[in-house]
Amino acid sequence: MLTCFGESHGKCIGAVIDGCPAGLPLSEKDIQQELDKRRPGASKISTPRREKYLAEILSGIYNGFTTGAPICILVQNLDVDSRPYKLIKNRPRPGHADYSARVRYGGFNDFRGGGRFSARVTIAYTIAGAIAKKILNTINIEVLAHTTQIGPIRLSKKIASEEIRKNVYQNTVRCADPEIARLMENEVLKVMNEEDSLGGIVECIALSVPAGLGDPIFDTLDADLAKMVFNIPAVKGVEVGAGFGVASLKGSENNDQFIIDENRVTALTNNAGGILGGLSTGMPIVVRVAFKPTSSIAKKQKTVDLSQMKEVEMKLSGRYDPCIVPRAVPIVESCVAMVLVDHAIRLNIIPKVLQE
């Protein structure tokens, strides 16, 4: 179970992971490696907030192994510049949580950099995801995400998991096809120059997930995946397998017919995305997630001044990614890994003490 704390411009972002089995080898390096995947400053298309995220383990590890006690891991906020945010105190940015948060918390919320609503909170997800992936490794489950769409540029050909492993971190947009990646990069640069931003889609695949994971009802595997993924800021849609495409299919097209392959039950197709009845089927889990374009844009927009209750115009400065999709790739991976490890623990597939 993940508890997280911290704000964009506060002292730090932290994650507390409870329920991690004892006996997992774990070091700050394991965490750092995953954090580096989502680091801004990694490329010309991301925010100039250039700090290095440094993970610090506060508890739960002894002699290099998890102890079974809650693991707290912190990342300090170093390169913080809150000046550009004074503007937004009374002027909610379109597309942001500024307005709804102000109503919810009576104006007491820390609005600097979006505060608790900044994508920066996903540092905590990445930390927990790093641990989840290490646990899943012990039962050979692999979780792989990649960008399939940025703005108008889509990856339409079928991608082998080998290509994801090989190519995704070789380009700045985290696309498994190098050619499409180039197109996506160009698109981002173009829109960046227009002082605008782009949305996109991340696909995540989990391999070697055994059949039977999930707790119907109400904790089905797809429901828990959808819930976790919707907790990532900027997500507006989640689909499994053929997803929204099923609306246009006939049953005879959509049903994955069962066959036997090397004495194991499998299916001719995977429109189910590896989940039927809320339970994993043993086929790859396939989840797709829609991210909206970065809300913070330099272009002029309309908003209201809440202290005067009048309409105003706003031009945001500050440091923003023109497209958050590339950074979302390791975050979606982390979310999927967390849900899978939780269900694997529930189903007794992962022991309470891991033996080396």
Interacting positions 175-234 with a second copy (CB under 8 A):
191, 194, 196-201, 210-214, 216-218, 220, 222-231, 233
The window from 39-47, 128-136, 174-182, 271-279 that contacts a second copy (CB under 8 A) reads 271-279
* Residue from the set 135, 272, 336, 344 that interacts with a second copy by CB under 8 A: 272
* Residue from the set 40, 115, 326, 330 that interacts with a second copy by CB under 8 A: 115
Tell me the number of residues near a second copy by CB under 8 A.
Answer: 144
- How far is the C-alpha of 77 from the C-alpha of 319, rounded, in Å? 15
Shortest Å, Cβ 319 to a second copy: 15
Q: Would you say the C-alpha torsion 53, 58, 60, 63 has a positive or negative sign?
A: positive
The window from 31-39, 112-120, 130-138, 168-176 that contacts a second copy (CB under 8 A) reads 112-120
Mark residues 57-86: x for contact with a second copy by CB under 8 A, - for none. Answer: -xxx-x--xxxxxxxx-x------------
Q: Where are the beta strands (DSSP E) in 11-160?
A: 12-17, 55-57, 61-62, 65-66, 71-76, 142-150, 153-154
* Residue from the set 35, 45, 97, 337 that interacts with a second copy by CB under 8 A: 97
Q: What's the half-sphere exposure (Cβ side, CA atoms, 13 Å) at 290?
A: 9
Mark residues 13-52: x for contact with a second copy by CB under 8 A, - for none. Answer: -x-x-x---xx-----------------------------
In single-letter form, the type of residue at position 17 comes to I
Shortest Å, Cβ 71 to a second copy: 7
* Residue from the set 239, 326, 330, 331 that interacts with a second copy by CB under 8 A: 239
> DSSP secondary-structure letter at 50?
-
Q: Would you say the C-alpha torsion 5, 123, 64, 67 has a positive or negative sign?
A: positive
Give which of 93, 79, 113, 109 is closest to 313, Cα–Cα. 93
Give which of 280, 250, 253 is closest to 269, Cα–Cα. 253
Query: Can residue 329 be called a binding residue for a second copy (CB under 8 A)?
Result: no
Shortest Å, Cβ 162 to a second copy: 25
Query: Can residue 286 be called a binding residue for a second copy (CB under 8 A)?
Result: no
The CA-based diameter of the chain, rounded to the nearest angstrom, is 71
- How far is the C-alpha of 109 from the C-alpha of 111, rounded, in Å? 6
Residue placing its CB nearer to a second copy in the complex, 48 or 216: 216
Triad 96, 228, 130: Cα angle to 5°: 105
* Residue from the set 40, 129, 273, 330 that interacts with a second copy by CB under 8 A: 273
Query: Token pair of 40, please?
Result: 């801004």
- How far is the C-alpha of 180 from the C-alpha of 173, rounded, in Å? 10
Residue placing its CB nearer to a second copy in the complex, 152 or 160: 152
